[in-house]
């Protein structure tokens, strides 16, 4: 960590945020006793500035802004190895989901934009088509991330193998799918959903 100096007080503990994460994730942040088993098994730890156990420690110490501003939460692959191996039954994968939601909703200052962009296009595709449209997912990602030539060499062989469908049929029940999205938005506007 670049800045290791921190001052702790009841005011800096940000217990409200911890409670919010616990409510969203349905698991306890405070129960973690820092054995580090999650980080030992995490396949993504070498890509993270804060390994998983430190993410939890920072939350416990009220330093959530440092977590939300960093890349670690977006470099979690949701493989759930951490939750599987935690000896104290902390569902760290669910905590990561909750943290990403907090950052996402706040359109937060995270350094990691590509993963968020990929998620956004993926979800947009579900809303528009009902099923994933892989060709569009890759094409829109390349355009919006400014990497026009990314994976361009894979294109011809995937097309030749029939693995890229150029055209994609929308689901017949696409109106019902749109309703799911709009009802969730309605529920959130009314404050009835997290």
d(CA 25, CA 22): 5
Q: Which is nearer to another protein, 88 or 171 (CB)?
A: 171
CA atoms of 91 and 56, how far apart (whole Å) = 11
Angle at 27 (CA atoms; ends 177, 4), nearest 5 degrees:
110
Compute the distance between CA of residue 194 and CA of residue 185 in angstroms, rounded to an integer. 11
Q: What is the C-alpha separation between 94 and 194, in angstroms, rounded?
A: 14
- Asked if residue 191 binds another protein (CB under 8 A), the reply is no
Tokens linked to 43: 């396949």
Residue 181: both structure tokens together = 């999205």
- Quick one: 30 or 150, whose CB is closer to another protein? 150
Residue 69 CB partners (closer than 8 Å, separation 6+) = 108, 109, 110, 111
* Tokens matching residue 193: 């959903």
Q: Which of residues 8-67 bind another protein (CB under 8 A)?
A: 24, 26, 43-44, 46-47
Q: Which stretch binds another protein (CB under 8 A): 11-19, 31-39, 55-63, 162-170?
A: 162-170
In the complex with another protein, which residue's Cβ is closer, 20 or 104?
104
Choose which of 6, 69, 123, 159 interacts with another protein (CB under 8 A).
123
Site for another protein in 73-92 (CB under 8 A): 75, 77-81, 83-85, 91
Q: How far is the CB of 64 from another protein (least distance, A)?
A: 17
Q: Of the candidates 111, 172, 175, 189, which one interacts with another protein according to CB under 8 A?
A: 172
CA–CA separation, 94 and 163 (whole Å) = 33
Where on the chain is the footprint of another protein (CB under 8 A)?
24, 26, 43-44, 46-47, 75, 77-81, 83-85, 91, 93, 97, 100-101, 104, 114-119, 122-123, 125-126, 130-132, 134-135, 137-138, 141, 150-151, 154, 157-158, 161-165, 171-173, 176-177, 179-181, 183-184, 187, 192-194
């Amino acid at each position: 960590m670049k800045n290791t100096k921190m001052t702790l007080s009841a005011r800096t503990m940000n217990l409200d945020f911890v409670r919010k994460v616990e409510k969203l994730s349905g698991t306890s942040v405070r129960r973690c006793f820092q054995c580090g088993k999650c980080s030992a098994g995490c396949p993504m730890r070498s890509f993270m500035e804060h390994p998983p156990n430190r993410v939890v420690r920072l939350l416990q110490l009220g330093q959530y802004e440092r977590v939300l501003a960093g890349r670690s939460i977006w470099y979690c692959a949701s493989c759930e190895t951490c939750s599987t191996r935690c000896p104290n039954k902390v569902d760290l994968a669910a905590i990561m989901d909750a943290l990403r939601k907090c950052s996402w909703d706040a359109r937060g200052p995270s350094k990691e934009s590509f993963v968020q962009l990929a998620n956004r296009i993926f979800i947009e595709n579900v809303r528009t088509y009902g099923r994933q449209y892989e060709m569009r997912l890759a094409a829109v990602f390349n355009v919006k991330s400014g990497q026009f030539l990314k994976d361009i060499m894979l294109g011809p062989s995937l097309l030749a193998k029939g693995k890229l469908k150029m055209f994609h049929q929308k689901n017949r029940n696409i109106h019902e799918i749109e309703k799911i999205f709009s009802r969730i938005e309605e529920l959130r506007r009314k404050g009835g959903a997290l």
